[in-house]
């Protein structure tokens, strides 16, 4: 996993109001919502690939087997449930946090409503690879906009801060937990789940540097 230190240091830790006052807001809003829509698009591609979903989507797909909801609706519900976990961790949601919880889920269901089912294995593999790659790009876009962490990101960073454990360990524990829960509920896991777990971190980190919106007048976090 390779990256440069400077772009990571350009990520600031601002409160919800400071995020909106930090400057370059129009650019950041466009990047945020483009990233969230792209994220929903990427989930829809992975669903149509039928080769396994990302860890949290394994849980979301499992919930659809027990409740009369679509996968995007499950995503929205889980997002707000996860945000309840922010309260004892004293994490503060930003515009990007609330938008993440709603826009990704709604756009996922919209894209699924127009995407046809695919049966050819070769095309399903293409959809899977495209879904993973585009989700990494979408992740880099919404993080780089610096308008608040996503619900799951905030839970991860909050738990890491409170427990003193590394982000990598906390993220791994979270994703193993949601995959296990998703499988118990009958969620969709498979080759795509493994491929996603191996690829999403390196891809997101590689794509992040050019998408981080810098604030030259703001202090930067240490690397």
Of 89 and 167, the one with more pLDDT: 89
Residue 216 lies in a domain: no
- Cβ neighbours of residue 121 under 8 Å, at least 6 residues apart? none
Which pLDDT band, with edges at 50, 70 and 90, does 73 fall under? Answer: very high
What pLDDT does 19 receive? 79
Give domain status of residue 7, yes or no.
no
Q: Is the pLDDT of residue 219 over 90?
A: no
Predicted local distance difference test score (pLDDT) of residue 23: 82
Over residues 23-56, the pLDDT tens digits come to: 888 999 999 999 999 999 999 999 999 999 999 9
Residue 135 has pLDDT above 80, yes or no: yes
d(CA 170, CA 163): 9
The yes-or-no verdict on residue 58 having pLDDT over 90 is yes
pLDDT at 3 over 50: no
Q: CB under 8 Å to 108, separation ≥6 — which residues? A: 40, 43, 44, 47, 71, 72, 75
**pLDDT value, residue 10:** 62
Residues 118 and 124: their CA atoms lie apart, in Å, by: 7
Q: How many domains does the chain have?
A: 1
Band (pLDDT 50/70/90 cuts) for residue 11 is: low
Q: Is residue 223 part of a domain?
A: no
- 180 lies in a domain? yes
Mean pLDDT of 193-221: 80
The mean pLDDT of the chain is 87
Whether 7 has a pLDDT exceeding 70, the answer reads no
Instruction: Find the Cα–Cα–Cα–Cα dihedral 209, 16, 24, 146, rounded to 10°.
Output: 10
pLDDT of residue 37: 98
Q: What secondary structure, in 3-state letters, does the chain show?
A: CCCCHHHHHCCCCCCHHHHHHCCCHHHHHHHHHHHHHHHHHHHHHHHHHCCCCCHHHHHHHHHHCCCCCCHHHHHHHHHHHHHHCHHHHCCCCCHHHHHHHHHHHHHHHHHHHHCCCCCCHHHHHHHHHHHHHHHHHHHHHHHHCCCCCCHHHHHHHHHHHHHCCCHHHHHHHHHHHHHHHHHHCCCCCCHHHHHHHHHHHHHHHHHCHHHCCCCCCCCCCCC
Is there a domain that residue 221 lies in?
no
Query: What's the domain range around 119?
Result: 12-209
Dist CA 180 CA 61 (whole Å): 12
Could you tell me if residue 222 is inside a domain? no
Query: Could you tell me if residue 215 is inside a domain?
Result: no
214: in domain: no
Phi and psi at residue 70, to the nearest 5° = -90, 170
At residue 124, does pLDDT exceed 60? yes
pLDDT tens, 139-196?
999 988 989 888 998 888 888 888 888 777 888 888 899 999 999 999 999 999 999 9
Q: Return d(Cα 146, Cα 42) in angstroms, integer.
A: 21
- Residue 146 backbone phi and psi in degrees, to 5: 55, 50
Return d(Cα 94, Cα 148) in angstroms, integer: 4
Residue 38 pLDDT = 97
């Amino acid at each position: 996993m390779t990256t440069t230190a400077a772009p990571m240091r350009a990520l600031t830790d601002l409160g919800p109001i400071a995020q909106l006052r930090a400057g370059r807001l129009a650019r950041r809003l466009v990047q945020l919502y483009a990233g969230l829509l792209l994220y929903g698009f990427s989930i829809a591609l992975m669903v149509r690939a039928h080769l396994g979903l990302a860890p949290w989507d394994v849980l979301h797909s499992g919930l659809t087997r027990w409740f009369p909801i679509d996968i995007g609706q499950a995503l929205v519900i889980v997002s707000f449930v996860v945000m309840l976990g922010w309260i004892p961790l004293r994490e503060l949601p930003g515009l990007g946090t609330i938008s993440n919880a709603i826009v990704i889920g709604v756009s996922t269901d919209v894209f699924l409503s127009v995407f046809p089912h695919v049966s050819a294995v070769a095309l399903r593999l293409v959809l899977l690879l495209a879904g993973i790659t585009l989700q990494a790009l979408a992740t880099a876009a919404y993080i780089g906009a610096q308008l608040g962490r996503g619900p799951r990101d905030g839970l991860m960073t909050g738990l890491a801060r409170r427990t003193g454990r590394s982000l990598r360990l906390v993220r791994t524990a979270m994703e193993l937990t949601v995959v296990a829960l998703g499988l118990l509920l009958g969620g969709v896991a498979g080759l795509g789940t493994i491929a996603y777990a191996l690829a999403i971190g390196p891809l997101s980190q590689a794509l992040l540097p050019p998408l981080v919106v810098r604030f030259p007048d703001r202090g930067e976090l240490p690397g």
